[in-house]
Amino acid sequence: METEEVRQSLDKAKIALAEEISRVIEAKNIWLKATEDLTSLKETVSKLQLAVEDKNEETKGKMGQLKDAIERAADEMIMDRQLAREDIANSLGPMGNPYPFNPLYTNTAGDPNHYPYPGPPPRSYADAAALPPSVSQPERDIQQQQALDRLRGSEEKRDRQLMLDADDVGANGNTDLTKKKLTEKVDKALQDLTAESLYNIEEVGVLRCDKVTKLPRGGVLILMNSIKSKKFLDQPDIAEWFAEALGITTKIIPRKYKVVIEKVSINTNLGDPKLPRRIKKDNGLVEGELVGLKWIKNSAQRSPDQQHAHIVAEFCTKSSANAFIKEPRLIEHEFVHSSKYNTNGFRCFKCQRPGHKSAECPQHHKTCADQHYKYYVTDEQWTWAPASNLSKQPTQTRRSAPITNFIQQNGRNNGGRQPGAATASSTGTRSPTTLPFTSPIPPRYSPCRPIIPGPPTNETDPIPTVLITDVAPAPLADPAVESANV
């Protein structure tokens, strides 16, 4: 029995030892795997460290190059500034020296009226006008030529622009299309126009759209590749065909050039449909060049003895507009002068509306005088009726107090008290309510109280509504009159 128990104990010990050995082996494997991972991580960190060091070296090199470039640029700027100072001093002469020596502007000991002058000495207008220009004539010519080139470039771009405006805003309106779809439609319409052989390609050239801009209110601005292409599309029959080829409800808006025709007889009837034809015939214009005529100012605003007024004429070509500006033209058997239309215009500084000057303003009040009218004013004449209670309202200015009744104030009760007498030394330094009185009745008017609306006590003793704008006290009431009123 004992041997059997010992054997079983040994078997259990062997099993426990085997389990412990397996745990140790498993822990060893885990440790070996962790060691391998750490070794791999170390190698990766080493590689990253080397890469970072390489990047740092590269960055340091680039920073050094940048620093050198900045230093060179600073040196060049300093040198250019010094050369510019020398050039300016040479061009301006002795008067242009920034800090010339002048004994009149030096600090003189013992004379408090002399102070060191920090800048250049003052010069007269004649001396300043006599100085040579700071820019030489060749440089000025170059600047003028550059400005002229910019103006020509902008005008050339405008001459290549074609305006499309939507007839209606609906399912087929161009406002519902994206910029990409609009560009595709324009390109397709130009391709169809080329395929139809409706023009001579040698004269017009290739039709191509460089840019399509969608305007906020539904219009489309097309920039063509050349002025010839744009002029070709401006032709009435081609414009109609092109609008139909786009497949959207739109029309081509020609560019207009406005000219002010001065001092035209007011007897000219601009509503006459034959008037544009007579103007074209008298001045040798081509059919369709004059597209609009209107008075620059409403006929209702003319003075009674006015005999002439200005007209705004709209032309579709620059040549026709310039022809009217260049020399006098015949309008209804009279030669008149013309000028370029000023887009800025002018406005009235009284009512702030355009079309007339303040000296000719028909309004009785300024733009901020809305309280003078009974209604909120509109374009209808009846809304300009004056306020009926305007004359009953007293006009008061800031920091001013009206004279009013002293006794009839709301909640004002004298309580049988009488104002105390003031000494002679205090007279003129105290409030009007504390001045000495010869009557037990307080003064009827005081500048320290607002006006109480209401009828006067009698016809001979009205309540004044004048304003007090100075600091002088109100005049004392007559005792006899006050006693009679009480």
Sign for the pseudo-dihedral over CA of 194, 195, 200, 205: positive
Regarding whether 299 and 228 lie in a shared domain, the answer is: no
Average pLDDT over residues 417-428: 47
Are residues 262 and 333 located together in one domain of the fold? yes
Cβ contact 411:397 at 8 Å: no
Among residues 253, 269, 284, which one ends one of the domains? 253
| Secondary structure letter of residue 302 according to DSSP | S
Q: What is the pLDDT of residue 339?
A: 85
pTM, to two decimals? 0.40
Per-residue model confidence as pLDDT tens digits over 254-311: 778 888 998 998 888 888 888 888 888 888 888 778 888 999 888 888 888 899 999 9
Same domain? 219 vs 275? no
**Which of 57-71, 230-244, 376-390 has the highest average model confidence (pLDDT)?**
57-71
Assigned domain for 2 exists: yes
Domain boundary among 253, 278, 313: 253
Q: Please indicate, yes or no, if residue 147 is contained in any of the structural domains.
A: no
d(CA 69, CA 75): 10
Asked, for residue 349, whether it belongs to a domain, the answer is: no
Residues 86, 1 within the same domain: yes
Q: What is the mean pLDDT of residues 205-232?
A: 81
pLDDT confidence band for 191 (50 / 70 / 90): confident
Contact 311, 293 (CB under 8 A): yes
- Domain identity same for 187 and 266: no
Q: How far apart are CA 337 and CA 351, in angstroms?
A: 30
Query: Looking at the domain assignment, is residue 323 inside a domain?
Result: yes
For residue 261, give the 3-state DSSP assignment.
Answer: strand
Phi and psi for 345 in degrees, rounded to 5? 70, -165
**73 and 1 together in one domain:** yes
- pLDDT, tens only, 98-146: 444 444 444 444 444 444 444 555 666 555 555 555 667 777 778 778 7
CATH number at residue 309: 3.30.70.330
Say if CB 323 and CB 277 are below 8 A apart: no
Is 285 found in the same domain as 249? Answer: no
122 contact partners, CB below 8 Å, separation of at least 6: none
> Both 249 and 261 in a single domain?
no
Please give the radius of gyration of the chain, using alpha carbons only, rounded to the nearest integer.
47
Assess if residue 115 is contained within a domain: no
Q: What is the pLDDT of residue 361?
A: 72
Say if residue 249 is in the same domain as residue 311.
no
Q: Chain-wide mean pLDDT for the chain?
A: 70
CB 340 within 8 A of CB 260: yes
Which one, of 209, 217, 257, lies nearest residue 233 by Cα? 209
Answer whether residue 131 is part of any domain. Answer: no
Which segments within 319-464 are labelled E, that is strand?
329-331, 334-336, 338-340, 401-402, 404-405, 445-446
Report percent pLDDT > 70 for the chain.
56
pLDDT band per the 50, 70, 90 thresholds, residue 343: low
Are residues 403 and 478 both part of a single domain?
Answer: yes
Tell me, yes or no, whether 3 and 35 share the same domain.
yes
Residues 282 and 315 grouped into a single domain: yes
- Parent domain of 9: 1-90
Q: What is the count of structural domains for the chain?
A: 5
The answer to the question of residue 425 being in a domain is: yes
391: pLDDT strictly greater than 70: no
DSSP state of 301: G
In a domain, 286, yes or no: yes
Exposed (0-12), middle (13-18) or buried (19+): which is 174, by Cβ within 10 Å?
A: buried
What single string gives the DSSP state of each residue in 195-249? HTT-S-HHHH----EEEEEE-TTS-EEEEESSHHHHHHHHSHHHHHHHHHHHTSS
> Can you tell me the mean pLDDT for 336-360?
72
Could you read off the pLDDT of 160-169 as tens digits, one per residue?
888 877 654 3
* Domain boundary residue, one of 208, 232, 253: 253
